[in-house]
Amino acid sequence: MSERIGLLVGRENTFPQPFLDAVNEKGRAEGIQAEMAVLGGAAEMEEPGYAVIVDRISHEVPFYRAALKSAVLLGTVVVNDPFWWEADEKFFECTLARKLGVAVPKTIVLPNKEYIPDIDHRLSLRNLRYPLDWERIVRYVGMPAVLKPNTGGGWKDVYIVHSLDELIRAYDGTGQKTMILQEFIDWDDYVRCICIGRTHVLPIRYDPRRPFHERYRIQETVEGELREHAIRDAQTLTQALGYDMDTVEFAVRDGILYAIDFLNPAPDFDNFSIKEDNFSWVLDRMSDLVLKYARGEAKPPWRGEHRWWRYVTE
């Protein structure tokens, strides 16, 4: 395996070059080199060419994901695991958090409002409870509630609803998306944690009520018991999920930290949103992480975990 580290990126422009520079600077003496990954037209057994690939965009470029899954089997360490990332969903994560003893808002997953044309409403949906007991659902999560997609990000299709009528109206517009309905946490404090390598956690005060560029409140540092609790729960979640890069958000109400969103395997690393000091922290931790993988000093959390690993020799 080569000593090359590849980076896959989307539109972001502030993280890629400084990250490559940081890795190259630290790895140069050992002959480790970082660059933008180039993928396209490989055959199934072709040497991937990268010891490590940091994947920030395969959720939106399915071809990358196809290539990365094969690269994993051929020995490349992909951050984050393309198999698990594809399977992961917010509703599953809420159940997982409960099992791990991490507080989450009460959550219900809803059947889709609409389906692809090939679905025959009489035959294909025979197993679906209909009509749904909306009264019971609303009693469980309470009002107001948050209706949001089971997968996805960027605050797309996130609705706060205040009554059953509003809920049905919002739900009727969700098309083929699978949605979850969640207790709205009327928080008095909010923390977003950047998590690298399943151990390094940087809690930052975050105010989602403010405009996008003002959300990270870096002057208002997170200290004491709140800091420790956020770090502990973020570690618990990222260790179980196996994400080497993620953000974990907590809404704090009456001293309880509710994990709101921890399905962010390509977290916002832009220096203008997380600010310079946090950005340097990210560059440092991310470069150390990939260098450890490139040197073979660390094993990715998912290696050997899928059933097919048992049948192949590396």
Site string (249-288) toward Mg ion, x via CB under 5 A:
------------x--x------------------------
Q: CB-wise, 151 or 271, nearer to ligand ATP?
A: 151
Asked if 200 and 285 touch (Cβ cutoff 8 Å), the reply is yes
The reply to whether 153 sits near Mg ion by the rule CB under 5 A is yes
Q: Number of residues in contact with Mg ion, rule: CB under 5 A?
A: 3
Amino acid letter, 168:
I
C-alpha 124/C-alpha 111 separation (Å) is 13
Piece of 42-50, 53-61, 128-136, 183-191 that binds ligand ATP (CB under 6 A) = 183-191
Q: Which does 208 bind (CB under 5 to 8 A by kind): ligand ATP, Mg ion, none?
A: ligand ATP
Question: Closest distance between ligand ATP and the C-beta of residue 295, in Å?
Answer: 32
Q: Is 184 in the site for ligand ATP (CB under 6 A)?
A: yes
Torsional sign, CA 270, 271, 275, 279: positive
Q: Pick the closer one to ligand ATP by CB: 99 or 156.
A: 156
Q: Report in angstroms how near the CB of residue 193 gets to ligand ATP at its nearest.
A: 12
The contacts of residue 80 (CB under 8 Å, 6+ apart) are 55, 242, 243, 244, 245, 246, 265, 266
Three-state secondary structure string covering 6-66: EEECCCCCCCHHHHHHHHHHHHHHHCCEEEECCCCCCCCCCCCCCCEEEECCCCCCHHHHH
3-state secondary structure of 256: strand
Residues lying near ligand ATP in the complex (CB under 6 A): 105, 146, 148, 152-156, 158, 182-185, 208, 249, 251, 260-261, 264
